[in-house]
């Protein structure tokens, strides 16, 4: 897939990233199961590599992203700076811990590593609260309360266990020990708030991964504290894997966010949370990610409990209690998300239905306004054309009247010369009337006066109003159908089509008018034996003011089409032979018989 296709398919790219992320999580889980077969010195190389490379990648990506956002003068650059400082402190703490554990084989407390570990929390907390600032007013009190309660679930047992194990410790040691659960709970609160808001409003893929990453860190901190207090921690413990899950999620989050910086105008690039309701992110990506991590975590803890049972009962109980808490928290989050999604889907469905109805009404109104605008915008151009076209017949009329006035006093009306001049005047009046009628029929949008008519009778009546040349023959089918229509307007359509057909046959010819049923429609075909319409003009003949004649307004066929559309019908044209087709809703003969009887 090229770059252009990638930009057009963000959901597909996110799906691929999610699959790749899950494969990495599964791969890390399988690697850590080697702890069953390796001793401490052998497994050290796996843990040292994992906790050097993965946090290191996180730091590098956060630095690159912060620099790019700063160059773009993006508002998120300040928040990312705090994230980068927090990730850097975490990386330094992990490396110091590796030295203590694997080089000196000591576990000092408090140590320099603890200072850096605790130091990560203020930076991450600042990052989360700054990130939530744009939506802070939209977050309900219920979401904050729910998030605080969940954080407290982790905080209370951690504080109680910590206090029980801090008797006789110095004030500094006590402060550092209590700082872990307290700061972790504070960090966890905005992360849960973000996830709850994610279920309500929707967020981009990058922020979903980032929020889940912080959630995993908060849960992992609590488990790590339990294992440290009861002295059940060992290198390769399942809690190490939980931290790696969190780091990998954060890495993919930054990578996804980094891709958005390549297109500064991208909608996702400028948004943390969407203002419009969207379910794709959490439904398609969030829930599968939660399920896979919960499954991997539970499996890893069960294997660890079976093969690495502590000498004390407390360790096993703490592990099982921790798993239960973990499952309980995730179940609560997923349940809340699904509940919100169900409710919001119903709300969104009703909203979409309402929007659809409003749009249909709006489209109808705009269509009518557009038609009126199109008609009146043509008046300016039409005025110039009418002024030119009416000048000739008016000149003929004026000249004819002047000549009649100059005639001798004893000349009678029946004189051949006078009769000829009167004919010229009559034809000029007819020509003017025809052009004026075309304009009025197009500009006016008068309501229909529907009556039940026979199509054949109406057509024959229209033919009597037209002067048919001797070299033109009109054949009307014997068949007949009945429709509800405005007889005056439909008469104008029939006359216009017949006159057009006559004018299209310079050498004379045949006009055939067929009346046939087609389903629930009555179909009237006007077929002439003329030379046909040029193919390049077929799409233009219904356009207002378009004409190939030297004399004419170019509104005849446009008016006909408007009238047929008003009746709920269709107006079509085709060549070989030239055929204008009118389709109108038909009344069955049985129904017509009942109506006529009544």
pLDDT tens sequence across 65-90? 999 988 888 878 888 999 999 999 99
The mean pLDDT of the chain is: 75
pLDDT of residue 191: 87
In 3D, which of 578, 399, 393, 394 has the Cα closest to residue 504?
578
CA distance 122 to 126: 6
Interval 112-130 mean pLDDT: 93
- Residue scoring higher pLDDT (26 or 346): 26
Q: How confident is the model at residue 55 (pLDDT cuts 50, 70, 90)?
A: very high
Q: Which of 22-26, 187-191, 402-406 is predicted with the least confidence, judged by mean pLDDT?
A: 402-406
pLDDT at res. 593: 59
Mean pLDDT, to the nearest integer, of 213-226?
A: 83
Quote the Cα angle for 9-10-15, to 5°: 100
Tens-digit pLDDT profile for residues 435-450: 666 665 555 556 778 8
> Quick one: pLDDT at residue 123?
95
Euclidean distance between CA atoms 148 and 150, whole angstroms:
5
Rounded Cα gap, residues 101 and 3, in angstroms: 46
In the chain, pLDDT over 90 holds for what percent of residues?
12
Predicted confidence at residue 279, as pLDDT, reads: 39
At 95 the pLDDT is: 93
- Bridging pattern class, strands 578-585 and 521-528: antiparallel
**Token pair listed for 11:** 């959901």
Q: Please state, as a whole number, how many other Cβ atoms lie within 10 Å of the Cβ of residue 509.
A: 18
pLDDT band, very low/low/confident/very high, at 315 (cuts 50, 70, 90): very low
Give residue 53's pLDDT band: very low, low, confident or very high (50, 70, 90): very high
Per mean pLDDT, which range of 57-71, 553-567, 573-587 is the poorest?
553-567
Which among 212, 239, 234, 236 is positioned nearest to 223, based on CA atoms? Answer: 239
Q: Is the dihedral of CA 431, 436, 441, 442 positive or negative?
A: positive
**For residues 57 and 8, what is the distance between their CA atoms, to the nearest angstrom?**
28
List, in order, residues 6 or more apart from 268 with CB less than 8 Å away.
10, 204, 205, 206, 260
Is the pLDDT score of 275 beyond 50? no
Q: Are 349 and 211 in contact (CB under 8 A)?
A: no
Q: Where are the alpha helices (DSSP H) in 542-582?
A: 556-566
Q: How far apart are CA 383 and CA 391, in angstroms?
A: 12
* Mean predicted confidence (pLDDT) in 146-174: 82
Residue 237 has pLDDT above 50, yes or no: yes
Structure tokens at 279: 């379910």
Q: Could you give the 3-state DSSP secondary structure of residue 316?
A: helix
Cα separation of 152 and 195, whole Å?
A: 17
CA distance 400 to 420: 9
> Cα(582)–Cα(515) distance, rounded to whole angstroms?
10
Q: What is the largest CA-CA distance in the chain?
A: 144
84-98, 203-217, 564-578: least confident range: 203-217
453 three-state secondary structure: strand
Do the Cβ atoms of 554 and 545 come closer than 8 Å? yes
The reported pLDDT for the residue numbered 311 is 44
Query: Would you state the structure tokens that stand for residue 433, as one six-digit string?
Result: 């009337």
Q: Is the dihedral of CA 357, 359, 365, 368 positive or negative?
A: negative
User: Token pair of 61, please?
Assistant: 């990506």
Which range is most confident: 160-169, 305-314, 391-400, 471-480?
A: 471-480
Residue with token string 């990453």 = 213
pLDDT digits (tens, 9 = 90+) for 322-337: 555 555 555 555 555 5
Distance CA 291, CA 299 (A): 12
Q: What is the mean pLDDT of residues 523-538?
A: 81
pLDDT digits (tens, 9 = 90+) for 41-51: 888 899 899 99
pLDDT at position 393, please? 63
Q: Where are the alpha helices (DSSP H) in 201-286?
A: 205-229, 238-260, 280
Percent of the chain with pLDDT over 70: 64
Q: Give the C-alpha separation, 552 to 144, whole Å.
A: 74
Contact 425, 400 (CB under 8 A): yes
Question: 3-class SS at 585?
Answer: strand
The predicted pLDDT at position 592 comes to 58
Distance of CA 515 to the CA centre of its chain: 47
Predicted pLDDT of residue 116: 93
Residue with token string 């790749």: 20
Q: How far apart are CA 99 and CA 105, in angstroms?
A: 8
Q: The tokens of 119 are what?
A: 């130091």
Say if residues 191 and 211 touch (Cβ distance below 8 Å). Answer: yes
| Range name among 203-207, 348-352, 500-504 with the lowest pLDDT average | 348-352
pLDDT at position 397: 66
Q: Which residues pair with 587 in a beta bridge?
A: 482
Structure token pair of residue 318: 């703490």
* Per-residue tokens: 249: 């999620």
> Coil, strand, or helix at residue 554?
coil
Mean pLDDT of 164-175: 81
Decide if pLDDT at 112 tops 80.
yes
Does residue 32 register a pLDDT over 80? yes
The tally of CA atoms less than 13 A away on the side-chain side of residue 251 is 19
CA distances, 428 to each of 374, 423, 503 (Å): 29, 8, 17
Distance from C-alpha of 135 to C-alpha of 196, rounded to nearest angstrom: 12
How far, in whole angstroms, is CA 559 from its chain's centroid?
38
What pLDDT, on the 0 to 100 scale, is given for residue 82? 95
335's tokens:
């349940």
Q: Is residue 167's pLDDT more than 70? A: yes
Q: Which domains does the chain have, with CATH numbers?
A: 3-308 (no CATH), 448-597 (3.30.565.10)
The residue whose two tokens read 């904050």 is: 144
Helix, strand, or coil (residue 521): strand
User: How many other CB atoms sit within 10 Å of the CB of residue 127?
Assistant: 26
Going by C-alpha positions, the residue among 387, 467, 371, 505 that lies closest to residue 435 is 387
pLDDT for residue 524:
92
What is the model's pLDDT at position 126?
Answer: 94
Dihedral of alpha carbons 152, 158, 162, 165, sign: positive
Q: Kindly state the average pLDDT of the residues 197-205.
A: 63
Query: Rounded mean pLDDT of 204-227?
Result: 82
- Which residue in the block uniquely carries the two structure tokens 């030297």? 550
- By residue count, the chain amounts to 598
Q: Using 50, 70 and 90 to split pLDDT, how confident is the model at 115?
A: very high
Cβ proximity of 349 and 320 under 8 Å: no
Inform me whether the pLDDT recorded for 479 exceeds 60: yes
540 falls in which pLDDT band (50, 70, 90)?
A: low
User: Are 177 and 166 contacting, i.e. CB atoms less than 8 angstroms apart?
Assistant: yes
Please, what is the Cα angle at 157 between 151 and 158, to 5 degrees?
80
pLDDT digits (tens, 9 = 90+) for 276-287: 434 344 455 555
Residue 553 has pLDDT above 60, yes or no: no
């Amino acid at each position: 897939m090229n770059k252009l296709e990638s930009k057009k398919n963000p959901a597909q790219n996110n799906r691929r990233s999610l699959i790749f992320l899950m494969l990495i999580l599964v791969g890390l889980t399988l690697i850590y199961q080697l702890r069953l077969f390796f001793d401490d010195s052998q497994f050290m190389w796996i843990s040292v590599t994992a906790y050097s490379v993965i946090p290191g990648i996180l730091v590098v990506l956060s630095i690159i992203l912060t620099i790019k956002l700063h160059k773009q003068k993006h508002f998120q650059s300040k928040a990312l700076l705090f994230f980068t400082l927090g990730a850097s402190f975490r990386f330094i703490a992990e490396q110091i811990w590796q030295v203590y554990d694997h080089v000196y084989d000591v576990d000092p407390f408090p140590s320099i590593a603890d200072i850096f570990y605790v130091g990560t929390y203020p930076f991450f907390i600042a990052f989360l609260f700054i990130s939530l600032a744009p939506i802070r007013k939209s977050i309900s009190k219920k979401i904050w309360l729910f998030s605080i309660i969940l954080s407290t679930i982790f905080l209370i047992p951690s504080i109680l266990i910590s206090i029980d194990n801090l008797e006789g410790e110095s004030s500094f040691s006590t402060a550092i020990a209590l700082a872990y659960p307290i700061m972790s709970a504070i960090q966890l609160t905005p992360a849960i708030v973000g996830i709850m808001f994610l279920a309500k409003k929707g967020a981009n893929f990058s922020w979903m991964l980032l929020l889940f990453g912080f959630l995993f860190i908060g849960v992992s901190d609590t488990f790590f504290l339990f294992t440290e207090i009861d002295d059940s921690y060992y290198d390769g413990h399942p809690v190490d894997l939980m931290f790696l899950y969190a780091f990998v999620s954060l890495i993919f989050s930054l990578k996804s966010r980094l891709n958005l910086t390549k297109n500064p105008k991208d909608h996702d690039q400028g948004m943390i949370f969407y203002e419009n309701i969207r379910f794709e992110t959490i439904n398609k990506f969030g829930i599968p990610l939660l399920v896979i991590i919960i499954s991997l975590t539970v499996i890893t803890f069960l294997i660890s409990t079976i093969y690495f049972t502590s000498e004390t009962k407390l360790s096993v109980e703490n592990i099982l209690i921790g798993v239960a808490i973990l499952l309980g928290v995730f179940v609560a989050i997923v349940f809340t998300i699904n509940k919100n999604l169900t409710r919001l889907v119903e709300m969104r469905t009703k909203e979409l239905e309402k929007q659809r109805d409003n749009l249909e009404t709006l489209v109808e109104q705009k269509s009518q306004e557009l038609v009126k605008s199109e008609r009146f915008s043509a008046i300016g151009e039409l005025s110039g054309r009418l002024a030119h076209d009416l000048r000739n017949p008016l000149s003929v009329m004026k000249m004819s009247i002047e000549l009649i006035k100059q005639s001798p006093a004893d000349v009678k009306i029946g004189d051949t010369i006078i009769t000829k001049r009167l004919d010229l005047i009559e034809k000029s009046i007819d020509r003017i009337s025809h052009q004026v009628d075309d304009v009025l029929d197009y500009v006016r949008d008068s309501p229909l006066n529907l009556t039940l008519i026979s199509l054949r009778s109406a057509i024959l009546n229209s033919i009597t109003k037209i002067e048919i040349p001797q070299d033109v023959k009109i054949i009307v089918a014997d068949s007949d159908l009945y429709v509800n229509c405005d007889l005056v307007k439909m008469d104008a359509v029939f006359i216009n089509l017949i006159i057009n057909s006559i004018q299209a046959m310079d050498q004379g010819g045949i006009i055939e008018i067929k009346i046939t049923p087609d389903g629930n429609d009555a179909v009237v075909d006007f077929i002439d034996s003329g030379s046909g319409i040029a193919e390049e003009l077929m799409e233009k003949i219904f356009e207002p003011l378009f004409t190939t004649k030297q004399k004419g307004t170019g509104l005849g066929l446009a008016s006909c089409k408007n009238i047929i559309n008003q009746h709920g019908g269709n107006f079509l044209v085709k060549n070989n032979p030239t055929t204008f087709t009118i389709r109108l809703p038909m009344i069955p003969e049985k129904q017509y018989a009942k109506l006529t009887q009544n």
